[in-house]
A and B are shown apart, each in its own frame.
Chain A
Amino acid sequence: MNNKISGIEAFFIMCMFSINTIILNAPKLIIENNQTGAFINSIYIGIIALIFLIIMNKLLNYFPNFDILDIANFLGGKIFKIFIGFLFILIFSIIICTFIAQFIILLKTVYFKDSPILFILMFFILCILFSNLNGFISIKNSICFYFPISIITLSFIFINNISNFTFIKVTPVFGQSFYNTFIQGFSNIFVFTNLILILFLPPFCNNSKSLKKATIFSLIFSCILLTLTIGILLSIYPFDNSISNFNPLYSLTRRIELSQFIERADALFVTIALFSCFSYIGFLAYLITQTIKKIFILENEKILIYSITPYIIGFTFLLINTNTYNKSDIYKNLFNITIYIISPLILFISALKKKLM
């Protein structure tokens, strides 16, 4: 079977990243920061992320089929490659564990009040373990399978909540102030976690041109989806002070009425969200193993897969016990610095070095 991914599969993988960010926390964080200005802010950060993406794509043209680790190796040798590798492992770990922690807390609050966290966590860990043991083909194909289902479900949730829309709640669209929406709100750009993939996908892709197209389209798609979600959430919930501690999308599912046959369908939507979550964290775990494999030039992947699972368990527990899983500032800055400052810098200097050689 083909180990490489096509353009459309790259599009699906990148969109899956944004869907998961949206399902869990991104809209809530942006709305918390910018209130009604979140709607404009999401368009604004989307445009800036797109400009970044185009610049990074241009710089990546100098290194066809190279990922960021190969480029780091080219620029600063083995030590620099290891440093960059660890930085990205940290980012991936934070994304996975934060995501799992948030999902676990949601599940525990709603369905498993009496179950220990470790019990719920084990299901996530099993999914990571088995999807990685089954290999890359299985991971990418499962993303391609669950992506349309997730999109249909999201659309279904939105359409079913049309009756609850109050458009007046979206105003004032520019939010509290220009500073708050456009200057302070710039840091919200971290929600486009899928940008990280353009640094790692090139070796997996058949055609670098189609990958570039896919990244641009996926970012546009993510931006539209994010804006739409924020718009819908704003038009339903009164976000004047702070939004509910509950996941707002989950709250939307509880408002859905499916005649008398299904009284409350939230559990079904959570199940579909779980599928998308499992495929997402499976792919992130795969990226971690691949990064470790690459920086240490390892052969046996299976042992790595087995060993990252206790690492993820430990990290998730750490985030839950220290209650840092919902403190977005911690990884917001780390992510923004790595993706929007360090990575373009590495790409730029490497491109310069290559040009001068």
Chain B
Amino acid sequence: MNLKQFLIKTFSYTKSNNNNFFLPKNPNNIINLPTSTMVSTEIKKNLNHLKIKYNSLINSDIVFRNFIININNTNLKAFLIFIDGMVNTESINDSILKPLLLKNSIQMIEKNHSSRKLNSFNLKKFIYKKLIPQNSISTEKDFDIIYKKINSGYAVLFIDTINIAFCIETKQIKGRTNSKPQNETIVRGAQEAFVENIRINTGLIRKTINNENLIIENLSIGKITNTSVAICYMANLTNDDLIAEVKYRIQNLKIDSLISSGELEQLITDNKTIYPEIIATERNDRTCNYLLAGKIAIIVNGTPYALIVPAVFTDFLSSPEDFNLNHYYGNFMRIIRGIAFFFSIFLPGFYIAITTYHQELIPSELLFAIAGAREGIPFPIIFEIILMEISFDLIREAGIRVPSPFGQTIGIIGALVLGDAAVSANIVSPILIIIVAFTGICNFAIPDFSLSFSLRILRFAYIFLGYAAGLLGIATGFFIHFSYLLTLTSFGISYFTPHIPFSVFSKNIYYNLKPIWKREYRNEYLNTKNPLSEEHISMKWKKNN
């Protein structure tokens, strides 16, 4: 046995085949799963097949409704299978069961058909065309497709002597209806957010973009969950290569389950990085804006967020409000957010660097004030700042986790009482409380949750660097950090586009949001099919005279 094997044997986990369960082993418990994959002409076989597949004895929400249809005085056995809770029962009653079971209505229809025509083939046609007044029906023979249909809320009808199943769309998944945005609130603009149901979300987008060029493609991800994923784009705007790339990445995911868009985001990003590379938005108006700019929206069933690709760094500092307001306000807010970004990541590091190494930077009066405030504090400055930063993050986390009525209270108690007590107890200096609180406020001003999270983590790195070597440490950290950021891409597009790589005549620059009548061009980096988003003179009414 060599050293490696010895270490593996000693320290690694080895799976045990004997679980200490109390359940007696019963060899008769083994169920033979159906092997056939195609629908049989014998209804009993189909019924047994589905009952075994869906474990109908223990599965409470799988409904099998057996009944008999009388057509031309011939009784045919039939059954309907659906999942309770995923279907509209009224629709099943009115559009499937009533037409099939009410003898009179069948006989009325029969009058137009001679009995010799009622062979097997015509029976399918007859049922399909005359008996089920439902708008969306498909006929399937393959059980694999039938499972998917049942799982997604279809009612499937089997009739004796026919080797096909009628998949009737009756889905009605109960859930939230449209609500106000919870995490991306704005003052001016629509107050409509996505919900968990994919169809409501796509409907919202369709409601905003009334155009036949809006394409919503559906894909199914996850071997077990078969989660619906909608890829939305404008066929006449979005770059074809980008569409192909997005589809390629999504279609080539070999996973068992996909529960949320957050999981999908991690599965399709270019780089494994702390920075977000895909925008996640709950706002319909923001999604539509991006679609009209030539980007692609991805919606995952079960998550009230749309993923927007590709995304560049400045997208994460933009708010949907920027476009709704006068461009002067928008630009002002963008500059404020830029400053917030800067302070959010560097301020504690700068504070520690300046107070430890570069005292000459600050005015003597302030320096004396800082020194005076720190008098009597037994801990080094690094301990103080780390303590306060961690406390701040704890308060924030606790505020989110506790039930909402207590959330605000926790924040106030944490900020006021704890801060004040810490200062009174000579654990931290009052100036540090200002620094940490200001940094926290700046962090809240970042519109994107993922970006603000990454800043929260990176801030600690700058604190340590500032403590280790002052501004030299911070400069080194920033250089390495920025150098790394320059390698990032989002769906092949450089993260700092259009600002870096250097472009002198970029038409859309973050810090210079043009007035709406001057936003003529779509972003060049998206290479859209139509680079112009409006005519050169958009306010024709002004020029006509």
Contacts and interface: CB of A to CB of B under 8 A. Distances in A.
Interface of A: 1-2, 6, 8-9, 12, 107, 111-112, 115, 119-120, 123-124, 126-127, 130-131, 134-135, 137-139, 141-142, 144-145, 260-268, 270-271, 274-275, 278-279, 282
A267 B479 contact: no
Contacts of B504: 8
Interface in B488-520: 489, 492, 494, 496, 500-502, 504
Interface in B443-489: 469-476, 478-480, 482-484, 486-487, 489
Contact of A9 (B364, B486, B492, B502): B502
Pick the 6 closest A-B CB pairs, nearest first: A267-B358, A274-B475, A144-B502, A123-B476, A138-B486, A130-B480
B360 interface: yes
A126 B476 contact: yes
B480 A126 contact: yes
A134 B473 CA distance: 19
A12 B482 CA distance: 18
A120 B469 contact: yes
Contact of B483 (A115, A120, A131, A262): A131
B362 interface: yes
A134 B484 contact: yes
Given A126-B480, A135-B487, A278-B475, 12 more contacts: A112-B357, A123-B469, A131-B480, A131-B483, A134-B487, A141-B501, A142-B483, A260-B363, A263-B360, A265-B361, A268-B471, A274-B479
Contacts of B502: 6, 8-9, 12, 141, 144-145
A141 B500 contact: yes
A113 B121 CA distance: 96
Nearest to B485: A138
Contacts of B501: 1-2, 6, 9, 141, 144
Nearest to A9: B502
B479 A275 contact: yes
Contacts of B358: 111, 267
14 contacts: A1-B494, A6-B502, A120-B469, A123-B472, A127-B476, A138-B483, A138-B487, A142-B479, A142-B483, A144-B500, A262-B361, A263-B360, A267-B357, A282-B483
Nearest to B502: A144
Interface of B: 357-358, 360-364, 469-476, 478-480, 482-484, 486-487, 489, 492, 494, 496, 500-502, 504
A138 B475 contact: no
B482 A266 contact: no
Contacts of B494: 1, 141
Given A1-B494, A2-B501, A264-B361, A134 B476 contact: no
Nearest to A259: B363
Contacts of B479: 127, 130-131, 142, 274-275, 278-279
Given A107-B472, A123-B469, A275-B479, A145 B363 contact: no
Nearest to B500: A141
Contact of B469 (A2, A112, A261, A278): A112
Contacts of A261: 363
Contacts of A115: 469
Contacts of B357: 111-112, 267
A256 to B, nearest CB: 12
B360 A141 contact: no
A139 B496 CA distance: 14
Given A263-B362, A267-B358, A1 B489 contact: yes
B87 to A, nearest CB: 50
A267 B360 contact: yes
A321 B361 CA distance: 32
B486 A278 contact: no
Given A8-B504, A126-B480, A274-B475, A111 B470 contact: yes
